Amino acid sequence: MLVDVFNMEGQKVKQVELPEAIFAAPINVDLMHQAYVRQMANARLGTHDTKTRNEVAGGGRKPWRQKGTGRARQGSIRAAQWKGGGRIHTPHPHAYTLSMPRKMRRAALRSALSVKAAESSIVLVDELAVSEPKTRLMAKVLNTLVGDASALVVIPQKDSYENVILSTVNLPETKILMASYLNIRDLFKFDKVVMPLAALDVIKSYLG
Q: What is the pLDDT of residue 175?
A: 96
Q: What is the pLDDT of residue 1?
A: 81
> Which CATH number is associated with domain 2-44+99-207?
3.40.1370.10
All CATH 3.40.1370.10 domain ranges of the chain, comma separated, are 2-44+99-207
Categorize the per-residue pLDDT at 208 as very low, low, confident or very high, splitting at 50, 70 and 90.
confident
Which among 109, 128, 94, 112 is positioned nearest to 180, based on CA atoms?
Answer: 109
In terms of Cβ atoms closer than 10 Å to its own Cβ (0-12, 13-18, 19+), residue 136 is exposed
For residue range 155-184, list pLDDT tens digits in order.
999 988 999 999 999 999 999 999 999 999
Q: What is the pLDDT of residue 113?
A: 97
The one-letter code for the residue type at 85 is G
Pairwise CA distance, residues 103 & 101, whole Å: 5
For residue range 1-34, list pLDDT tens digits in order.
889 999 999 999 999 999 999 999 999 999 999 9
Pairwise CA distance, residues 206 & 180, whole Å: 8
Q: What is the pLDDT of residue 53?
A: 92
Give the mean pLDDT of 198-205: 95
- Please state, as a whole number, how many other Cβ atoms lie within 10 Å of the Cβ of residue 85: 18
For residue range 104-138, list pLDDT tens digits in order.
999 999 999 999 999 999 999 999 999 999 999 99
